[in-house]
């Protein structure tokens, strides 16, 4: 029993949004394998990769209202002050923006950077340029959400990339989120921009790796020396 439990603990859960894709790759492999056996093995590899892409591991989320937690796995591609997109309704003055780029091998479950109520969500059609480019924030297809957090309104923008063709949201305006709670995903390869109010200081640098729900990417005010964590 201990061995079985150890195996279960080692396996990372797969989000249900990935089930149709995993099944489609596997069935396609079975059918095409009847025509040419190597195709079965190719699609078996794709099936395993698809399950890996939609993995949904638990995270230990730091719990303190002055902290901003990474909403995505990936590397920090941009840190700077930028005027937020108009649909966020956060004004026309530059705000601190932290951008996190996710490649096709990163976990794509997105998590709330702060706790609070969801003020608004908007979806905007656009292009599918490389999400690492700065102009992708303006021209690419995106879904924007504003959270009324403990220290002000925080904007989170899911941006589709050159490969991504679908942004999925699990929440609606009027609801609420805990810091680190799952709220959406993007298929397959993309970027998240986080717009933060004045008084917020970045705690990451460009090129640094971030883990959704765990990495502290910014702090507001003086903060605290220590904080507890919540498993999610």
pLDDT in tens, 75-101: 999 999 999 999 999 999 999 999 999
Residue ranges per domain, the chain?
2-53, 62-221
Alpha-carbon distance of 176 to 121, in angstroms, equals 12
Q: Which residues pair with 202 in a beta bridge?
A: 218
Integer-rounded Cα radius of gyration of the chain: 19
Helix (H) and strand (E) counts for the chain? 4, 16
Residue 52: per-residue pLDDT:
81
pLDDT band at 56 (very low <50, low <70, confident <90, very high): confident
Residue 148: per-residue pLDDT:
97
Residue 230: per-residue pLDDT:
66
Which residues are catalytically annotated?
Answer: 190
Is 87 within 8 Å of 173 (Cβ atoms)?
Answer: no
pLDDT in tens, 2-53: 554 444 444 678 878 778 888 988 888 888 888 888 898 999 998 888 888 7
| pTM assigned to the model | 0.83
Question: According to the CATH classification, is domain 62-221 in 3.30.420?
Answer: no
For the record, the structure tokens of 28 come out as 């396609």
Residue 6: per-residue pLDDT:
46
Alpha-carbon distance of 175 to 218, in angstroms, equals 24
pLDDT in tens, 177-227: 999 999 998 876 688 999 999 999 999 999 999 999 999 999 998 655 455
Residue 22: per-residue pLDDT:
86
């Amino acid at each position: 029993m201990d061995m079985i439990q150890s195996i279960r603990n080692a396996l990372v859960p797969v989000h249900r949004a990935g089930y149709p894709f995993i099944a489609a790759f596997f069935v396609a492999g079975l059918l095409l394998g009847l025509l040419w056996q190597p195709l079965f093995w190719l699609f078996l590899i794709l099936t395993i990769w698809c399950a890996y892409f939609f993995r949904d591991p638990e995270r230990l989320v730091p719990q303190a209202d002055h902290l901003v937690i990474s909403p995505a796995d990936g590397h920090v591609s941009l840190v700077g002050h930028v005027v937020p997109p108009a649909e966020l309704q956060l004004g026309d003055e530059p705000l601190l923006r932290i951008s996190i780029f996710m490649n096709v091998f990163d976990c794509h479950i997105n998590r709330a950077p702060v706790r609070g109520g969801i003020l608004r969500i908007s979806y905007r059609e656009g292009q599918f340029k490389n999400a690492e480019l700065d102009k992708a924030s303006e021209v690419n297809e995106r879904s924007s959400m504003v959270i009324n957090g403990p220290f002000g309104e925080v904007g989170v923008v899911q941006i589709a990339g050159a490969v991504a063709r679908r942004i999925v949201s699990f929440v609606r305006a009027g609801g609420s989120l805990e810091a680190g709670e799952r709220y959406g995903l993007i298929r397959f390869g993309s970027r998240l921009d986080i717009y933060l109010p004045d008084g917020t200081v970045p705690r990451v640098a460009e090129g640094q790796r971030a883990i959704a729900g765990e990495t502290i990417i910014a702090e507001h005010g003086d903060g605290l020396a220590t904080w507890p964590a919540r498993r999610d």
